[in-house]
Structure 1
Amino acid sequence: MPSREQLSACRVLVVGDAMLDRYWFGSVDRVSPEAPVPVVRVQREEDRLGGAANVALNVKRLGAASTLLTVVGDDAPARTLESLLEREGVAARLGRDEKLTTIVKLRVIGRAQQLLRVDFESTPDHEILTQMLADFAQALGSSDAVLFSDYGKGGLTHIPRMIELARAAGKPVLVDPKGSDYGRYAGATVLTPNRAELAQVVGAWSDEADLRRRARRLREDLQLDALLVTRSEEGMSLFDGVGDSGQLDVAALAREVFDVTGAGDTVIATLAAMLGVGMSMRDAIQVANRAGGIVVGKFGTATVSYEELFE
């Protein structure tokens, strides 16, 4: 278990698609006369850090230092995002794209249930992303681990070059992947797909032995140190080529699952912080698994504190 002092000295660089998670909470007392949908009388609004920004917040709440590198628009949601990051103590290097709509996920909540989600987004300008390579190289030197949070929104166009720079600098590189082309993540230390995301890339597996073969092939093809598959109620499986089976299975620890939103963010943020302080991969995933088990008992995009995790 790392001490608070060890964690506070650890710096994690988070790069990826940041977004604003906006919640409208209200009561539902009737059905609309205009269409067969519930009418929500909004009583409270709340903005939270989402996407890569939530990952950076998770790192910070654990007690480590986090720096977020991302692209936002020049609009009200971007200013709200910046204000929240500043309030939470997350260092931010924000690329500004005047033509970009900052990503907002608006969730309408009634009777403690999500009734509707509305997304606002667009794709960032390629020149802005190219300019951010210099910011990445500058922030890399003072970082102990690099974490890429890919939500498929276009903010990680230059991830192959960034991974190359990070590995050349001797930094552990963690990637929360998206889509079916994992070739762009080649050379990373570890990828953390969930079951569905992995099946989209390697195909459906028939049993554990088949999964192990597919995972090994993917690791070898992409030259990864490890592949960590999050499997919901089945826990996690680490494929690292160590030991007889090359696989370590960790059982799920959640006592009560309330909301899985952002659980993957918490897992990879915890893993990055643990690797950043020098913990081995196999020990680090035990801690990350515990963090995931805690956060699914909370509502919406949430975090885990040092006290919750270790005390």
Structure 2
Amino acid sequence: MTDIFEKFNSLNVLIIGDVMIDSYIWGKIDRISPEAPVPVVRVTKKENRLGGAANVALNIQSLGANPYICAVIGNDPDGENFLSLLKTQGLSDQGIIKIKSRPTTVKTRIIAHNQQIARVDAETERNLSNSNTLLVLNKIKQIITDHRIDAIIFEDYDKGLITEDLIGNTVQLAQEMGIITVVDPKKRNFHAYKGVQLFKPNLKELKEGLKMEVDPSNMKQVEQAVDRLKKQLGAKTVMLTLSENGVYVSSENGNKHILAHKRDIADVSGAGDTVIATAALCMAAGLNEFKTAEIANLAGGLVCEHVGVVPIDKARLLKESKAL
């Protein structure tokens, strides 16, 4: 396993998706507001972190590989803060496009006594215009031309960057150049990812996308739903994350249900980002889909032990992967 993890260091990954700032307000609660029946949070600390597709990039970086992000931000103070965070983390801004008519997405989490009290989202969910989609496509082509890209991750948060045209053109380009494509989908474009190598929905996304109920404890139901999805998309592999029920993997080589590892769960925020980043690198490094899913499942569980969105610890993941 050590040689696979060392191979990560030579890989380049392009992440296409909705980026955002994860803003945290930490504090203490010792009284109820006299204005309304809500707690008063006395602020002790504030912090901004890279979120969304940028958190996938952080996970790629944490695993030793080299990430490139293609995304849009607003021409606003939050956009400047985002670029500053990229620079602090040593990430390239080559694929970042500023758009005047859009705000930079910011998710503010208010945390007291190690529990999330509320979340405030500032964002738009409008699709990009055709002209702006063309700008993004040109950026994707430029990055693929300038750098050897081993895998492309679509990190879709339904904020409007990823459209059917963008998906179709990028997947076709990747197929022509032999680049692995992996997808972390959302509802809007769920059926647009035709012909990708790995499609990784969670249970909620699967049920919404197929418009059917699926009991995660009933593996026959899970198998039927995933088979239906695989046929609709023409995806080589579907990796369905089932939270505490683990992961179900289906490909032309068979099916496998991988159980979850017992963890002290503190926060599930960002776990999907870690899973898709780990899966992309494992596939690009040459692991089969079942070993890929085992390690990605392990990685997702590890980051849930921390409060807030944090990237995976490569050394700890390697240590636990050896025991699989």
TM-score range, shorter chain: over 0.9
What does 1:1-311 correspond to in 2, within 5 Å? 1-3=1-3, 5-92=6-93, 93-122=95-124, 123=126, 125-126=128-129, 127-141=131-145, 142-157=148-163, 158-179=166-187, 181-202=189-210, 203-205=212-214, 207-242=218-253, 246-311=254-319
Kept in 2: contact 1:146–1:171 (CA 8 A) = yes
Counterparts in 2 of 1:71 and 1:2: CA distance versus 1, 3 Å: farther
The DSSP-based 3-state class of the residue aligned with 1:214 is: helix
TM-score (norm 1): 0.95
Distance in structure 2 (CA, Å) of the matches to 1:180 and 1:282: 28
Deviation per residue, 1:96-151 (Å, 9 max, x gap):
10121100001111121111111111236412221110111122251100000000
The DSSP-based 3-state class of the residue aligned with 1:71 is: strand
Kept in 1: contact 2:191–2:209 (CA 8 A) = no
Deviating more after overlay: 220-229 vs 143-152: 220-229
Deviating more after overlay: 200-209 vs 9-18: 200-209
Q: When the two structures are aligned, how many residues end up with a matched partner? A: 308
Kept in 2: contact 1:26–1:40 (CA 8 A) = yes
Which 4+ runs in 1 deviate beyond 3 A?
2-5
Kept in 2: contact 1:259–1:296 (CA 8 A) = yes
Amino acid at match of 1:35: A
Structure 2 gap ranges (5+): 320-324
Kept in 1: contact 2:105–2:121 (CA 8 A) = yes
Distance in structure 1 (CA, Å) of the matches to 2:37 and 2:242: 36
Distance in structure 2 (CA, Å) of the matches to 1:60 and 1:88: 9
Amino acid at match of 1:193: P
Distance in structure 1 (CA, Å) of the matches to 2:120 and 2:63: 30
Distance in structure 1 (CA, Å) of the matches to 2:158 and 2:175: 22
Amino acid at match of 2:106: V
Distance in structure 2 (CA, Å) of the matches to 1:91 and 1:169: 22
Counterparts in 2 of 1:73 and 1:180: CA distance versus 1, 3 Å: closer
Counterparts in 2 of 1:255 and 1:69: CA distance versus 1, 3 Å: same
Displacement after TM superposition at 1:184 (Å): 1.0
CA RMSD of aligned residues (A): 1.5
Displacement after TM superposition at 1:305 (Å): 2.1
Deviating more after overlay: 204-213 vs 216-225: 204-213
Deviation per residue, 1:4-38 (Å, 9 max, x gap):
54211101110000000000111111111111011
The DSSP-based 3-state class of the residue aligned with 1:182 is: coil
Amino acid at match of 1:135: K
Displacement after TM superposition at 1:180 (Å): 5.5
Distance in structure 2 (CA, Å) of the matches to 1:2 and 1:87: 29
Kept in 1: contact 2:274–2:303 (CA 8 A) = yes
Kept in 2: contact 1:22–1:105 (CA 8 A) = yes
Kept in 1: contact 2:283–2:292 (CA 8 A) = yes
Distance in structure 2 (CA, Å) of the matches to 1:233 and 1:163: 32
Deviating more after overlay: 223-232 vs 178-187: 178-187
Structure 1 gap ranges (5+): none
Distance in structure 1 (CA, Å) of the matches to 2:312 and 2:160: 28
Amino acid at match of 2:213: A
Aligned to 2:322: none
Deviation per residue, 1:243-280 (Å, 9 max, x gap):
xxx31111111421111001000000000111122222
Amino acid at match of 2:194: A
Distance in structure 1 (CA, Å) of the matches to 2:241 and 2:123: 27
